[in-house]
Structure 1
């Protein structure tokens, strides 16, 4: 029996810095350390209305999968919908093959503002997830949301993405400053605090920079950012920055595992999350950052924070830094998958 993991490869040079590519690469890296073999895919062009081409690609990618194998699919595949659906059906059609979804995102939730905007029973993505034997989900909050949406497949949680990093890091000092690493153009802001906010992003509108406290540092490779952060806090998600996107990330980020959260932790930086997110409880419980819904409160928060307070957070982050940098969370989830599927243990499964 062979264990397989899909990996989404970039189709152009700039895509290698996208969160999707970083996470897909890191997941595959962790899986390979556990003995998995890769099934390499990409964003195939010209396949939407070409059934023969889709068939040949599926044959080329899945021809190595044998009866009794295990296939972990990084979901979604970010290619044409008909190709994804047929890809899953082809895997399920191989005798005794078990198929597991390791979920990056739920597009249904990303592009809507609430449950009233989609049909749970007929939604494409929710019905695709029902095809799998097991789901490795972002976290418990996301799992319960899936269960409410009628997806009753057994689920195991990851809690955090990993961010492999073995490069240099700077010592962290208590500095009253914030960092935000984004992937979408920032078109507006309600941030008016005096604390400097440094933004790594491909584009920031001029009116955003007129706030006086915001500095745009451009887009940089994520490893480069990790190597230069020397203090302050990493902002994971905030309603104070308005991003150009047709995705509703303010709503969606309460259910997912943001890539930037793991990137900040890999850098050894305390984080700022909102109270709506799954990670708010962990940030509080383990003292690895702050829970702040409105960044305009940060001046007041920093006014009562001491060097000792900050250093304690830095010390608390060290374990998490080591864990995400070495692939702890993905490997733990995959091992929990083996315990469930191979040995019949149920203690890792999330219940309603």
Structure 2
């Protein structure tokens, strides 16, 4: 088979930025996929460079004939998205889109309707979860859609299968976007990882351990009991643009946590809450104030059961199980 997977990365991001796309490439290259990457650097210059990429680089590098093509969506902007899709359609028998982010869903802006038109050009789409699939159907996506369920995560840090239950909790991510931290005062130890930390967030219960590479962060997570999935402006619920997006999106940090063997604490209305509940991977809450009462009732035995379930899922995520399953359902590779 002559298959290709096409991705575009922001080279100015830290290592964690493009990791989800790189992991997909690594999990699929064993099936003989040719990997074609394009790069850009953040800022105004990226927009100018995108003209050259769309007119010259993308058509040149996507020459050839392909049986199946997978486009890891999105690229830089509408221009590069269209250029990649146009050239793949011209040169491939089948073109599939694997969604990483949807601006039309995140911002619910009619100006992004061209994004939905692009999805309908594909022969099939891989979406994050059932809630995203339902939203895409409501918006008129007619092509076959496969449910990814959760992003896999290539994690080589040795797992610790037995761990003392000490009620430790961490949160990893861009701390600029975690607005809820500005008004939330935890009554338990909360360890923060990520860029854009502000000293105003410090309290006797909050510890900051810096912005780390994916491998360094995975090592640090081995000492934590739970990873927190929460977003938006409030500790009472996940609100605002990012909180609303959590209802449909699979945050990549969830896969980081689980692949490290760490159970999850997640908002009940988040799209991945169903996956966490079904597989018994942690705690589902409505409000951050519920964390302490729940953990106070949890025993070492209760935690070890959740931990054992998480280790099982960790092995799946590390092997690319969900990526391979989704691509197989599109009949691109054998099941």
What TM-score results when the alignment is normalised by the length of structure 1? Answer: 0.84
Range moving further from structure 2, 255-264 or 187-196: 187-196
Picking from 14, 27, 30, the partner of 1:30 is 27
Q: 1:240 to 1:290 in 2, by over 3 A?
A: farther
Matches within 5 A, 1:251-266: 251-266=244-259
Contact (CA 8 Å) 1:47, 1:54: kept in 2 or not? no
Q: Does 1:134 align with 2:131?
A: no
Q: Does 1:178 align with 2:176?
A: no
1:187-234 deviations in Å (ceiling 9; x for gaps): 543323311111101122222214x32221111112222223223210
Give distance in 1, aligned partners of 2:71 and 2:193. Answer: 31
What TM-score results when the alignment is normalised by the length of structure 2? Answer: 0.88
Q: Does 1:215 align with 2:201?
A: no
Q: 1:196 to 1:239 in 2, by over 3 A?
A: farther
1:131-155 deviations in Å (ceiling 9; x for gaps): 1110011111100001111112210
1:80-101 deviations in Å (ceiling 9; x for gaps): 321221221222223x621100
1:50-104 deviations in Å (ceiling 9; x for gaps): 75653211222201x31x5211000111x1321221221222223x621100110
- Tell me what 2:145 maps to: 155
Matches within 5 A, 1:1-352: 1-12=1-12, 14-18=13-17, 21-43=18-40, 48=48, 54-63=54-63, 65-66=64-65, 69-77=67-75, 79-94=76-91, 97-112=93-108, 118-119=109-110, 123-170=113-160, 171-185=162-176, 186=178, 188-210=181-203, 212-228=204-220, 229-239=222-232, 248-338=241-331
Q: 1:207 to 1:140 in 2, by over 3 A?
A: same
> Helix, strand or coil for the counterpart of 1:143?
helix
Contact (CA 8 Å) 1:48, 1:80: kept in 2 or not? no
Name the Cα RMSD after superposition: 2.5
Contact (CA 8 Å) 1:177, 1:197: kept in 2 or not? yes
Q: 1:134 to 1:219 in 2, by over 3 A?
A: same
1:46 CA displacement: 5.6
Q: What 5-or-longer segments of structure 1 have no aligned partner?
A: 113-117
Contact (CA 8 Å) 1:173, 1:231: kept in 2 or not? no
Give the number of aligned pairs: 324
